[in-house]
C-alpha cells in the first residue's frame, strides 16, 4: 500500500525516519512517500485528512483524534527543557501577558504550553502567528517583543543575541514535579484498519531503534536539515528529542501527556481529551 508520510524538515525527525527513508528496516509491504513540511502545516493537513501517517503536535491531536490514531512510539517530549520564550531583554511572566509574542502555529503544543504558562486562553493576549524559522528575525525587526522558539533555535538563541525569558519545558518540569512535556507524536489514519496501523507502528519503532543503534550514520543523514549546526550540536539536539521516550511513551510519558491534556481541558484551552 502506498502511504503518504508527513514529518518536519528537522534533524530529529530526519533521524527518526532515517531507516525508513533508506529502506533499512522492514516496511511490511508499504511504499512510503516522505513529505517534509513544518509541523503547523502537517497539523493543518491532518485536519483535512490529507496524510496517511504524520508527525503532529499533541495539541493538534485533540482536534483530529476522530480520524487518526496516536502511535505509542515516535513521540517527542521535552524532559526538563522545551520551547523557549526569548527576547532582546528579560521579561517576567506578568510582563509577557501584555507583549506581542511570536508563536510557531496556533495548533502547536508550544503554543498550548504558552497558554498554560501564562494562564490565559487564545485571544486574551497578543500571540502573533509566524513561521517558526522567521520568529528570530521578527524579534530583531521589532514586529514582536518576544518569540516562542522551537527546534534547533533552543540551542542557538544566545549566539543570536537573545535573552531567555523562560524555558517552558523547564517550567513544566518544575510545576509537575518532573514530568516530561509532550510536544509531538505520530498518527495514522484510523480507516486504514488495525492491521495497517499495527504494521506502521512496528516499522516506525524499528526505524527509531535502528537510528539509535546506528547513531553516527543517522546523525549524518540528518545533518543537512540541522540549519547550520555542526555534527556535535546536531547530535545533542537529536538526543533531546529522540530517546527512550520516543521508542515508547512508558509510564512517565503517559503521565506527562495525561497531565498536559487534563490541565488544558480544565482551563478551557481544548474542547476534549482524546481517548
Contact 145, 100 (CB under 8 A): yes
Interhelix angle 109-118/250-266, rounded to 10 degrees, is: 60
Catalytic residue among 136, 151, 214, 221, which? Answer: 151
End-to-end Cα spacing for the chain: 27
Helix locations, the chain, DSSP H = 11-16, 18-21, 39-47, 58-64, 93-96, 109-118, 135-140, 153-156, 168-175, 194-213, 215-222, 231-241, 244-247, 250-266
Q: Identify which of 116, 78, 56, 127 has the alpha carbon closest to the alpha carbon of residue 266.
A: 116
- 3-state DSSP call for residue 8? coil
Distance of CA 272 to the CA centre of its chain: 20
151 is an active site residue: yes
Q: To which residue does cell 520551547 refer?
A: 83
Active-site residues, by number, are 151
Amino acid at each position: 500500500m502506498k502511504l503518504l508520510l508527513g514529518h518536519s524538515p528537522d534533524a530529529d525527525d530526519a533521524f527518526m525516519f532515517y531507516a525508513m527513508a533508506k529502506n533499512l528496516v522492514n516496511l511490511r509491504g508499504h511504499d512510503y512517500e516522505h513529505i517534509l513540511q513544518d509541523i503547523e502545516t502537517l497539523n493543518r493537513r491532518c485536519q483535512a485528512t490529507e496524510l496517511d501517517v504524520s508527525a503532529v503536535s499533541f495539541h493538534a491531536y485533540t482536534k483530529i483524534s476522530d480520524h487518526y490514531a496516536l502511535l505509542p512510539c515516535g513521540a517527542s517530549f521535552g524532559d526538563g527543557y522545551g520551547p523557549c520564550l526569548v527576547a532582546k531583554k528579560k521579561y517576567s511572566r506578568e510582563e509577557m501577558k501584555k507583549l506581542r509574542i511570536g508563536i510557531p502555529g496556533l495548533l502547536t503544543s508550544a503554543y498550548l504550553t504558552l497558554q498554560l504558562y501564562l494562564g490565559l486562553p487564545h485571544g486574551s493576549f497578543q500571540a502573533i502567528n509566524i513561521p517558526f524559522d522567521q520568529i528570530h528575525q521578527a524579534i530583531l525587526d521589532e514586529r514582536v517583543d518576544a518569540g516562542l522558539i522551537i527546534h534547533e533555535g533552543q540551542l542557538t538563541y544566545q549566539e543570536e543575541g537573545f535573552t531567555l525569558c523562560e524555558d517552558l519545558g523547564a517550567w513544566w518540569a518544575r510545576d509537575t514535579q518532573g514530568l516530561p512535556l509532550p510536544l509531538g507524536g505520530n498518527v495514522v489514519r484510523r480507516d486504514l484498519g488495525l492491521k495497517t496501523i499495527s504494521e506502521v507502528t512496528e516499522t516506525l519503532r524499528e526505524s527509531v531503534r535502528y537510528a539509535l543503534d546506528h547513531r553516527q550514520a543517522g546523525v549524518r543523514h540528518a545533518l543537512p536539515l540541522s540549519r547550520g549546526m555542526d555534527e556535535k550540536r546536531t547530535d545533542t539536539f537529536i538526543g533531546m528529542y529522540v530517546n527512550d521516550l520516543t521508542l515508547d511513551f512508558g509510564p512517565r510519558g503517559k503521565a506527562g501527556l495525561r497531565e498536559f491534556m487534563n490541565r488544558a481541558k480544565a482551563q478551557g484551552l481544548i474542547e476534549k481529551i482524546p481517548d
